[in-house]
Structure 1
Amino acid sequence: MGPISLVCTVFLAYLLQGSSAVTPVFVQKGDNLMLNLTEVDDLENSVVFWNFNNKSINKDLMLVRWLPGTEPEVSPSYRGRIEFTVKKYWVKLKNLQETDSGIYTGRVMGVVDEQTTQYKVTVQDPVSPVKLTVDSVSSSSDCNLTVTCSTQDSHISSTFTCDAKTCSQEGGERSGVTTSGASLRVYLVNDSITCNHSNQVSWTKDVTKIQDFCPRHHDPKPHSVITALITLLFLIIIAAAGFFCYVLRRRKQKTVSIDNTVYAVPEVEAAAQPLDPTSNSPSSPSTIYSYVEPHTGPMRPTEDKTKTLPESLYASVEKPSRS
């Protein structure tokens, strides 16, 4: 079988090929997409190509094709937009736009069998910003809020009722579909109202705290915080009282220690009495002190009368002899 007959056989098999399982893929506008081809045993001797929307076998509707023994041939409309990866026969489409949404088919055609890989690609714009506004707040026993979640082209409203402890959403979570096909939702999470705008490739949200509009409403959680603060204050008081008692006790111990201190008092020797030679009392003093009186006799002729006498006079002390 020549090359021309092989190509004809391949194209005929392509035309007769029915649809296969399609994998949905969502891509944000401007991003890239990798088209992965399932591996087969013998690709070198097969015809491999990627096709867009399966409309015909027109060369312009093919992204790229490989004939046996040839280099890849890229469609003129995709030149500059296709990159070839390290893995052969896998391609990357760059900078996808909304017009690139559709069915992408990868085919491997041999003489005996054929393998097909299909992706349904949807290219989406990122969602627009969303805004949550509070339309009204009631002043009844319960706090009622009516809010509106809006985008550039769509909006939905919902009402919330709060008592002193809990909040609830009337009718449950509200959701809708925008004109662009994105999802718009309003729901309550942890006493916060959330407005969410999302599609398969992006999302954005706006949040409002219920406490900003219902001051009487409070989360039960602060009770635990207050309890913790009271407990902490109580522990601080106990610690301060213990420290005060410790300081007071230390001061008391110091005072008692000072009062119990014994200081040595020098003993004053009694005035010296005439020593009784006959006394054998062992308590007799071994040292005799004598009193010194000022000198009252006449001054020596050679001594200057104007000379100042010394203020202190010392007497020699003699130790009495023992009989």
Structure 2
Amino acid sequence: IYLNHLRFPGHVFVQTGGSVKLDIKNKTLLHFSRLIWMNDKSENIVRFINESGGLKYYIYKDSVDFNNKTLSLTLKNTQKTDSGLYTAKTIREKTTLVAEYNVSVIDPVDFPVLKRNFTIISVHACIVNVSCSGRDHTISDSYHSNNCTQEKVKSFGIQTLALYCIDNVVVCNYSNPVSWKNDIIEINQLCTPHEQNNSSFPLHWLLVIAGVLVLVFTAVSVLYCTYKKRKKSMSALIK
């Protein structure tokens, strides 16, 4: 008995608690009497007898499904302890390796953190300095509200941080092979409050107007009091 390799191992990522189907893609060489799926400990998971259709599960009975038509194996409710090498072999006159998968069960990424501060450079424009963080990694950049096109990408292992800007929207993307999450800010929203403050009536003019009104009210009050006193004096003389 000798062993043939039909192809190089495929690396498959699956999210914790998810399912993954391991296929046998090359069906032309599947003239066999038995097929066995195994794990990296050389433990039989399932054995299929081709002529009779007999099927026997050895381990993972409640967490795997075998399809006797496609010969695929589905791992269900995967946990990190399920990570490892999975192989399928056919047996007749010889033993042939017909599938090989390196399965990695990983958690989804956390939400990234997007921090920013901005500098107003005109009524309709500002520069935003941003930092995009995920786990222990951070990338930073600066964007002009009138020219927002740059992109930065940083990969570490199987995780990737991406920071980019499209149509005045800054996007911080944190991803791995099974998940991705975003945090965004709109540059125009940072500039808008400044524009609204500029369009409102200036405070010093409000103070000037208030002062003028106080002076006018005081003058009117003095004139009215003077008029009342004179009127009383005239009435006394007439009597």
Give the secondary structure class of the aligned counterpart of 2:11: strand
Question: What's the counterpart of residue 106 of structure 2?
Answer: 124
2:63 counterpart letter in structure 1: R
Question: What's the counterpart of residue 128 of structure 2?
Answer: 145
Question: What's the counterpart of residue 51 of structure 1?
Answer: 38
**Offset at 1:217?**
10
Question: What's the counterpart of residue 108 of structure 1?
Answer: 90
Query: Distance between the aligned counterparts of 2:113 and 2:29, measured in 1?
Result: 55
Conserved in 2, the CA contact under 8 Å of 1:211 and 1:217?
no
TM-score normalized with structure 1 length:
0.51
State the Cα RMSD in Å: 3.0
Pair 1:95–1:85, CA change in 2 (3 A) = same
TM-score normalized with structure 2 length:
0.67
**Offset at 1:125?**
1.2
Question: What's the counterpart of residue 174 of structure 1?
Answer: 152
Which runs of 5 or more structure 2 residues have no equivalent in the other structure? 196-239
Conserved in 2, the CA contact under 8 Å of 1:109 and 1:115?
no
1:36 counterpart letter in structure 2: D
Out of 63, 68, 74, the residue aligned to residue 45 of structure 2 is: 63
Pair 1:41–1:140, CA change in 2 (3 A) = closer
1:128 counterpart letter in structure 2: D
Conserved in 1, the CA contact under 8 Å of 2:87 and 2:97?
no
Of 153-162 and 192-201, more deviation after overlay is shown by: 153-162
Pair 1:41–1:103, CA change in 2 (3 A) = closer
2:171 counterpart letter in structure 1: T
Pair 1:156–1:42, CA change in 2 (3 A) = closer
Pair 1:62–1:113, CA change in 2 (3 A) = closer
Correspondence 1:159 to 2:142: yes
Query: Distance between the aligned counterparts of 1:95 and 1:122, measured in 2?
Result: 13
> Which has the greater radius of gyration?
1
**Offset at 1:92?**
1.7
Question: What's the counterpart of residue 160 of structure 2?
Answer: 183
Amino-acid identity (%): 28
Which runs of 5 or more structure 1 residues have no equivalent in the other structure? 1-8, 219-323
Give the secondary structure class of the aligned counterpart of 1:87: coil
Alignment of 1:191-206 (within 5 A): 191-206=168-183
Structure 1 stretches of 4+ moved >6 Å: none
**Offset at 1:30?**
0.9
Query: Distance between the aligned counterparts of 2:47 and 2:62, measured in 1?
Result: 15
